[in-house]
Amino acid sequence: MPIQLVTTAAQLRTESARLLTEKRGTSQGLVPTMGALHEGHAQLARTAVAENDVVVASIFVNPLQFGEAVDLDRYPRTLEADLALLEAEGVDLAFAPAVEEVYPGGEPLVRITAGVLADKWEGASRPGHFDGALTVVAKLLHYGLPGLGQGTYRAYFGQKDAQQLTLVQRMVADLNFPVEIVPVPIVRSPDGLALSSRNRFLSAEEREAALVLSRALRLVEERANAHEPLDLDSARALVESQPLVELDYFDVVDPRTLEPLAENCRETPFRGEGLVLIAAKVGPVRLIDNVPLDS
C-alpha cells in the first residue's frame, strides 16, 4: 500500500483509526525519527511492521533538543527519499508535522525533566538536550496513541542512542505511559561504522579515522566475551592514537543507571552486564557508538 503523509495530529488520529478498522487491527507501532533516513531507521521500521497491524513513522527535527541553531539549520532534510524508504518497508503513515503544529504557542512552558540520568555522557556536553528530546518523545508518543484508544501500542528506538533509550524507558515506566518500548540493535556499515544521519558530513579521510570507535568497542566486547579484564585503557589509547579523532568519553557503565562500573569489574575477568559508551568528534561531526556486554 502506498504510504500516506499526514502533517497534523488530527489527521494522524483519524487516519490511524481508519486503518486499524479497515485492517481489523489490534496493534499500532510508532517509529520516531528526525528524517534523513538510512538503513538503521529502515531496521526500526521493518521491526515495527513485522510486529504491528498499523505503523506510523514520525519525521520531525525537534528544535528543543538542539543546543546550537547552526546544528539545527544544517540538519539534513530529505523528505521525498524518507517517504520512499518508509513505503518500501511497509509503513502505513508518515507523520511530518511543522514546528508550529508541535509547538503552537512557541516553546512549551511545561516540559519533561530528564533528571540525573541525563547529567552524564551526552547530557554533559549537550546541556538541555535530553529534556528537549524527552519532551518531544512524550508528545510523539501521545500523537501516536492508537486512534481507537485500545489495543497494543509499541514504540521503536535504536540502541544507537543508548542513553536516550534508557531515558525513554525510564520516562515510560516512571510516568506510566501506556506503550511498550522496543529496543532495536545498532545497524552498522560492513566496515563497522554505526550508521548515522551525520556520517554524510565526514570526508573520506575522516570516515576512515572514525572506524577506530567501533574497533575500540569491539576490542572490549571480545575481552568481555572471553571473560578477560576489559582493559579500557588500551582500547582508549587506540582511539587516542588516531589524530583526526578527538575523544570525549569512553567508559563501561551499568545499562540501567548509566553509572560507571566499579574498577574491580574492569580489572578482573569480566562477568555480568555492561554497556560500553564512546563519543568523539571526528572533523566537524560528533559521533556516538556503544556495545552492550553480557557475559
For the annotated catalytic residues, the residue numbers are 41
Residues at the contact surface with ligand AMP, assessed by CB under 6 A: 33-34, 40-41, 43-44, 157-158, 160-161, 184, 186-187, 194-197
What single-letter amino acid sits at 29?
Answer: G
Q: Round to whole Å and give the CA distance between 6 and 54.
A: 14
Spatial strand order of the sheet with 285-294 comes to 245-253, 273-282, 285-294
Q: Which is nearer to ligand AMP, 85 or 220 (CB)?
A: 85
- Number of neighbouring beta carbons within 10 Å of residue 279: 22
Q: How far is the CB of 278 from ligand AMP (least distance, A)?
A: 14
DSSP sequence for 177-199: -S-EEEEEPPPB-TTSPBP-GGG
Q: Match 510508532 to its residue by C-alpha cell.
A: 30
**Nearest residue to ligand AMP on Cβ basis:** 158
Using DSSP, state whether 107 is helix, strand or coil: coil
Q: Which is nearer to ligand AMP, 25 or 132 (CB)?
A: 132
Among 216, 234, 228, 277, smallest CA distance to 252 is for: 277
- 26 CB contacts (<8 Å, ≥6 apart)? 20, 53, 150, 151, 152
Q: Which is nearer to ligand AMP, 230 or 288 (CB)?
A: 288
Three-point CA angle 177, 171, 48, nearest 5°: 65
Q: Which is nearer to ligand AMP, 41 or 207 (CB)?
A: 41
Q: How far is the CB of 27 from ligand AMP (least distance, A)?
A: 19
Q: How far is the CB of 11 from ligand AMP (least distance, A)?
A: 22
Q: How far is the CB of 41 from ligand AMP (least distance, A)?
A: 5
Q: Which is nearer to ligand AMP, 41 or 120 (CB)?
A: 41
- CA distances for 256 relative to 153, 168, 273, angstroms: 23, 11, 10
Using DSSP, state whether 288 is helix, strand or coil: strand
Q: Round to whole Å and give the CA distance between 293 and 295.
A: 6
Cell digits for 113? 525533566
Q: How far is the CB of 289 from ligand AMP (least distance, A)?
A: 9
Cell digits for 79? 523528505
Q: Which is nearer to ligand AMP, 183 or 283 (CB)?
A: 183
Among 194, 203, 200, smallest CA distance to 41 is for: 194
Q: How far is the CB of 242 from ligand AMP (least distance, A)?
A: 21
